[in-house]
């Protein structure tokens, strides 16, 4: 009798134990993957009220590489969706195939990898190291590939690559525009989105010309994991996604966008939160319209309508809100952290602008700073690939304390918009971008800086600046000047719709072509320019604007130089009616002018009959020789190469300089004409160790 009782207790205990633990079913996995490829595991678990909360169900895998290293990778809940294009629009539908859980891992080393899957809920834990009698393992095959992007030093980024079977490190300069959200058209009461096919269009056009885009992950009604959705309604209102009801359709869209971008050589800076959803004003861009049924403001924000926060600033301190925020970030890292084309995680877009132009109290600014520190620590604790972190502040009032938010992050970012039509001097936007980078270097000398947004605004939104500059001349100038500003890459243009309207995609290609040839730069490079201050303006010798960088050893200098006749204001003068003030009257416009047609017959003449550029140096002896290589700004390819010599200007002051001559193929002074569309060129100057052999 006692023996039977023990057997009964043992049997019941075993049954209870089985019921207490989560159960992994339907395991599907690959047997091999290439280095830096995505290794994906799929399986099913029981149903949970909130599959996005690790306190409810926590899923992860521990991977062990051929060198004995361990990496923990978080799993995520997944629902299948499929897409098709109807006319220009995206049509989505549920696909039950693949519903369940996934783990995505990117191995960085060839050889045999093993792993153990863990699933933990409030009833217990299950671990799985084998399935159907087979140890969970896969082979990573060697292949030339591009790996993850990271911080190389205090100024620049790097990328891990495999070349001829050997791991290497290369430079990485992000070159490309914002494509923050996909477009949508009015469709009855709601908008009908172009969806992934809008991104597909931009990525296709940028492929081979750029290597970077910046996108937003939570632009309500567009690509957004939380918030109101444009498709489907509940009680006549847009369906709301939040906390335990994440928008899986939009997650599937992001799957497609990330993979499609990767296939076309495009890296992505995803921005997680943005101020427009926390504004008390309707969060729309200046000069645009948004359907009133789908506003993106605090009034419709689920942190307010669902969670019940009374103040938008409670987002940074409320324990319930922080739990939800961490769960969202955790999901993003789990589902897309494997992608080698994720450049960094950007926590906020212009967080200060959530104040709607008002001052943010000091204590709230400190709360925002503390939130960034807390979130940075959390992401680093769960991201096995340690993607860099960034944020952006915007242009709020009295936000000095907020700049401390960059302290725990890896990349300092700013946004800048200028009205080039109103600028009355020859100090172009290109110089403003240079100055902003210089200021950032002073404030944060130990972190890379990036201009994450820039654009040419105007006071009258009906007057589109691109109508006055349809060839993107100032875009061209701004990209090249910011390359040599000490930034980690050229500034990222905001108005991506202008790229499509004016075919400005080509403006990025020469910049990327040039930068792709550069080695990994040291952080000893210092940004300089040849301008001389005169009554709050800059005057450039011989009317050649030059921005350049020189390293500490003075063995490498590189820069961009342009004839001032090709600045935006100078070109505008060729198109405006006589005696009209083109800085004020936006209606003055000559459709036959140079800016509009780029007619060679109307191309400006050189502004000064000297081709000389003088670059001061300090520590090189007289007679030191350098080689000067000139590059075409319209192709990024090398034009010519020649030797030059360091000379002494005034021996008793020991002021030394490198003197170079603008190529005659670009600026033909004898004929007094400019043969280059933009009147500019890029140079790279390197010290000749043994001049006799060069």
Per-domain residue ranges for the chain? Answer: 21-143, 151-466+476-523, 559-693
Mean pLDDT of 505-533: 95
User: Which single residue is written with the structure tokens 């926390």?
Assistant: 278
Phi then psi for residue 247, to 5 deg, are -80, 95
Distance of CA 73 to the CA centre of its chain: 24
Distance CA(579)–CA(625), nearest Å, equals: 50
Distance CA(121)–CA(140), nearest Å, equals: 31
Is there a contact between 646 and 624 (Cβ–Cβ < 8 Å)?
yes
Q: Is 526 exposed, middle or buried (0-12, 13-18, 19+ CB in 10 A)?
A: middle
Higher pLDDT, 157 or 8: 157
pLDDT recorded at residue 523: 95
- Angle among Cα 147, 151, 157 to the nearest 5 degrees reads 75
pLDDT recorded at residue 12: 40
Mean pLDDT of 463-490: 86
Is there a contact between 426 and 570 (Cβ–Cβ < 8 Å)?
yes
Q: What is the mean pLDDT of the chain?
A: 87
Q: Which CATH architecture has domain 21-143?
A: Sandwich (2.60)
Distance CA(667)–CA(565), nearest Å, equals: 11
Q: Is 55 left (phi over 0), alpha (psi -120 to 50) or beta?
A: alpha
Q: Give per-residue pLDDT as tens, 54-63.
A: 999 999 999 9
Q: Is the pLDDT of residue 188 over 60?
A: no
Q: Is the pLDDT of residue 105 over 90?
A: yes
- 590: helix, strand or coil: coil
- List beta partners, residue 83: 92
**585 pLDDT band (50/70/90 cuts)?**
very low
Question: What is the CATH superfamily name and number for domain 151-466+476-523?
Answer: Glycosidases (3.20.20.80)
pLDDT recorded at residue 671: 86
**628 pLDDT band (50/70/90 cuts)?**
very high
Higher pLDDT, 364 or 619: 364
Mean pLDDT of 530-556: 90
Mean pLDDT of 37-56: 96
Mean pLDDT of 635-652: 78
Higher pLDDT, 97 or 23: 23
Mean pLDDT of 360-366: 97
User: Which single residue is written with the structure tokens 């290609």?
Assistant: 509
**650 pLDDT band (50/70/90 cuts)?**
low
pLDDT recorded at residue 288: 36
185-220: b (≥16 Cβ within 10 Å) or e:
eeeeebbbbbbbbbbbbbbebbbebbbbbbbbbbbb
Q: Is the pLDDT of residue 694 over 70?
A: no
* Whether the domain at 21-143 and the domain at 151-466+476-523 fall into the same CATH topology: no
CA quadruple 67, 69, 75, 81: dihedral sign? negative
- 320: helix, strand or coil: helix
Is there a contact between 280 and 298 (Cβ–Cβ < 8 Å)?
yes
Mean pLDDT of 398-411: 96
């Amino acid at each position: 009798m006692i023996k039977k009782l023990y057997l009964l207790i043992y049997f019941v205990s075993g049954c209870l134990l089985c019921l207490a633990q989560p159960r992994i079913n339907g395991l599907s996995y690959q047997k091999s993957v290439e280095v830096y490829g995505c290794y994906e595991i799929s399986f099913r678990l029981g149903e949970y009220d909130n599959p996005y909360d690790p306190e409810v169900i926590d899923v992860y895998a521990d991977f062990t590489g051929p060198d004995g290293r361990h990496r923990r990778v978080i799993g995520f809940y997944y629902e299948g969706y499929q897409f098709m294009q109807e006319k220009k629009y995206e049509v989505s539908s549920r696909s039950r195939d693949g519903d369940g859980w996934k783990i995505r891992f990117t191995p960085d080393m060839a050889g045999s990898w093993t792993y153990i899957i863990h699933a933990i809920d409030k009833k217990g834990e299950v671990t799985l190291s084998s399935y159907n009698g087979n140890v969970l393992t896969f082979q990573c095959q060697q292949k030339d590939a591009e790996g993850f992007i990271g911080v190389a030093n205090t100024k620049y980024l790097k990328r891990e690559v495999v070349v001829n079977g050997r791991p290497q490190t290369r430079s990485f300069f992000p070159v490309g525009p914002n494509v923050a959200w996909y477009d949508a058209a009015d469709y009855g009461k709601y908008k009908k989105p172009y969806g992934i096919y809008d991104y597909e269009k931009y990525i296709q056009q940028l492929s081979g010309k750029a290597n970077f885009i910046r996108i937003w992950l939570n632009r309500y009604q567009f690509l957004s994991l939380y918030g109101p959705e444009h498709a489907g309604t509940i009680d006549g209102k847009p369906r709301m996604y939040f906390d335990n009801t994440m928008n899986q359709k939009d997650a599937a869209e992001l799957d497609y966008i990330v993979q499609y971008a990767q296939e076309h050589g495009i890296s992505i800076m995803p921005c997680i939160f943005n101020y427009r959803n926390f504004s008390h004003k309707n969060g729309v861009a200046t000069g645009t319209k948004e359907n009133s049924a789908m506003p993106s403001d605090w009034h419709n924000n689920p942190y307010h309508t669902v969670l019940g926060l009374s103040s938008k600033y409670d987002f940074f301190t409320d324990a319930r809100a922080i739990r939800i925020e961490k769960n969202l970030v955790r999901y993003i890292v789990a589902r897309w952290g494997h992608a080698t084309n994720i450049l960094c995680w950007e926590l906020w877009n212009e967080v200060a602008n959530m104040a709607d132009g008002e001052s943010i109290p000091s204590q709230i600014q400190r709360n925002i700073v503390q939130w960034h520190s807390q979130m940075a620590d959390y992401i680093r604790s769960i991201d096995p690939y340690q993607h860099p972190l960034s944020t952006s502040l915007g242009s709020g009032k009295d936000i000095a304390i907020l700049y401390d938010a960059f302290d725990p992050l890896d990349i300092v970012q700013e946004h800048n918009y200028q009205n080039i039509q109103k600028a009355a001097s020859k100090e172009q936007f290109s110089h403003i971008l240079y100055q902003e980078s210089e200021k950032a270097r002073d404030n944060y000398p130990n972190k890379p800086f990036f201009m994450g947004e820039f654009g040419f605004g105007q006071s009258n939104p009906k007057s589109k600046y691109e109508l006055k500059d349809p060839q993107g001349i100032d875009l061209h100038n701004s990209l090249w000047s910011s390359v040599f500003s000490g930034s980690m890459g050229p500034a990222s243009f905001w108005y991506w719709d202008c790229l499509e309207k004016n075919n400005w995609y080509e403006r990025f290609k020469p910049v990327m072509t040039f930068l792709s040839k550069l080695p990994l730069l040291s952080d000893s490079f210092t940004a300089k320019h040849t301008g001389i201050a005169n009554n709050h303006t800059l005057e450039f010798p011989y009317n050649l604007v030059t921005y350049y960088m020189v390293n500490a050893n003075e063995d490498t200098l590189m820069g961009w130089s342009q004839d001032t006749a090709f600045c935006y204001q100078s070109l505008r003068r060729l198109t405006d009616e006589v005696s009209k003030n083109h800085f004020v009257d936006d209606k003055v416009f000559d459709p036959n002018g140079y800016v509009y047609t780029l007619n060679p017959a109307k191309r400006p003449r050189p502004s000064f009959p000297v081709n000389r550029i003088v670059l001061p140096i300090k520590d090189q002896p007289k007679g030191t020789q350098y080689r000067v290589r000139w590059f075409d700004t319209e192709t990024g390819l090398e034009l010519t190469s020649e030797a030059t010599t360091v000379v002494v200007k005034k021996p008793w002051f020991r002021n030394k300089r490198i003197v170079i001559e603008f190529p005659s193929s670009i600026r033909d002074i004898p004929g007094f004409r400019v043969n280059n569309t933009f009147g500019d060129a890029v140079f790279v100057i390197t010290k000749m160790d043994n001049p006799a052999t060069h």
